[in-house]
Amino acid sequence: MPEILFASQPIYDCDGHIYAHELLYRHETGITAFEVGDSVATSEVLYNLCTGLLEYVEHIKLPVCVNVSTEFLLSGLFLPLAPEHVIVELVERIEPNDEIVEAIKRWVAKGFRFALDDFEFQEGWKPLLDLATIIKVDIERTPFDVAKQRYQELQHLDVLWLAERIEDETTLQKYQELGFDLFQGYFLARPTAVEGRRVPSAAATQLTLVINQLFAEDPELYEIVAALQTDPVLVVNLLRIANSPYYGLTRKIESLKEVVMLLGLEPLRKWVLLIVAVKGQAPEKTKLILTRAYMCSELARKKDPFNRLPGPAFLVGLLSGSEVLLGIEKQTFLADLNVSESVRSAVLNDEGELGKYLQEVQQFEYDLAMKKPLEGHGDLFDIYQQCHFLVDELLNNIVID
């Protein structure tokens, strides 16, 4: 069943065209962004945008407006979306001290745009006026005469003026005549719940090794790939993000190494940190699919004299567990991934050399679970013991301080 991922409210220009979409935190339990905190709310909205629905292309044609917390602004990190795709909203809860102003200057230098949300023209916010792209005026809290005076006083600024909470046509016309550029409110459009499939994230305890490698002083590609292979939920989510409209791939994915290379180190770091903020996955499911992936890879290594297939075989084993890991049918999940035909046909139909490896491993899993004789599987039981031990060691050695 579809789930609520977030809400979206359009922002219009003077000609009635949509200029941007403001993304709002929504949860089916009714918990609010204030209750979960700004950091978690922002993380979930962005995560759900890029993993929950890949065909909602309306939100890549125009910028999305998102709130960020004080902690995120000061963290030294930046949003994982390219600056042209996002407008950062500074809510009134942020206190613009010297540290905040310097942090925003660094964001602006990276190309990010800022909107001053619910702006009330308080003295402390003046240092941010020259850094802003949009000034949002809450017309319910700011009388029209005050808004008019401030608008005229600040005409020297290179900003767009947005009137929010437009409730009727008369008010809309009044602010249009004043010279405002953008408009938002229930009269124009109410927030709309956007539905999709909420994709669970990796457990934080399973991300430690990945984070250690990603943020090493001299990160090594192969060590990052090895760390990612300890966490199948993280890998499938990164695949989904990589194949979202924001990171549309132009080449086929054959291995985790390619995923890392195509995403790039900095976006990869940012997404991992965002994923940490989202709810985790059951370790039993992780262990089952991770063991399967390693078994497929080891089987390929033993049988492929040219050593071409261990990487793709690992990916096949991993993707075959999308329903177990994510609750998404393989056909649905693979429809949105730009994987090679050999990987796709192996996962969906057990076809090709990769499909044969997967079929062998899954038949072994079934016989093992049903306590059937395993002699007919040749050395697969030895491979299973080896991979099962490896997975146990990997997961047991991941510790959060």
| pLDDT at 2 > cutoff 90 | no
| pLDDT at 397 > cutoff 70 | no
- 200-209, 276-285, 315-324, range with greatest mean pLDDT: 315-324
Confidence class for position 229, pLDDT limits 50, 70, 90: confident
Q: Output the average pLDDT for the chain.
A: 79
Q: Which pLDDT belongs to residue 54? A: 43
Contact 4, 48 (CB under 8 A): no
Q: Which pLDDT belongs to residue 359? A: 94
Higher pLDDT, 172 or 121: 172
Confidence class for position 248, pLDDT limits 50, 70, 90: low
- Which ranges in 154-207 belong to alpha helices (H)? 169-178
Contact 332, 273 (CB under 8 A): no
Q: How many CB atoms lie within 10 A of CB 79?
A: 20
Confidence class for position 91, pLDDT limits 50, 70, 90: confident
Q: Which pLDDT belongs to residue 115? A: 94
Contact 356, 350 (CB under 8 A): yes
Q: Which pLDDT belongs to residue 9? A: 92
Q: Which pLDDT belongs to residue 346? A: 94
Structure tokens at 3: 């789930």
Distance set, CA 43 to CA 217, 241, 397 (Å): 26, 14, 27
Mean pLDDT (whole number) for 182-210: 70
Q: Which pLDDT belongs to residue 16? A: 94
Would you give the distance in Å from CA 23 to the centre of its chain? 14
Higher pLDDT, 244 or 91: 91
End-to-end CA distance of the chain: 37
Q: Which pLDDT belongs to residue 203? A: 42
| Percent of the chain clearing pLDDT 90 (strictly above) | 29
SS3 call for 154:
coil
CA dist 42 and 72 (Å) reads: 10
Contact 161, 151 (CB under 8 A): yes
| pLDDT at 260 > cutoff 90 | no
Tell me which residue of 335, 373, 353 sits closest to 55, measured CA to CA.
335
Q: Which pLDDT belongs to residue 204? A: 34
CA dist 371 and 369 (Å) reads: 5
CA dist 395 and 389 (Å) reads: 10
CA dist 187 and 168 (Å) reads: 5
Q: Which pLDDT belongs to residue 244? A: 62
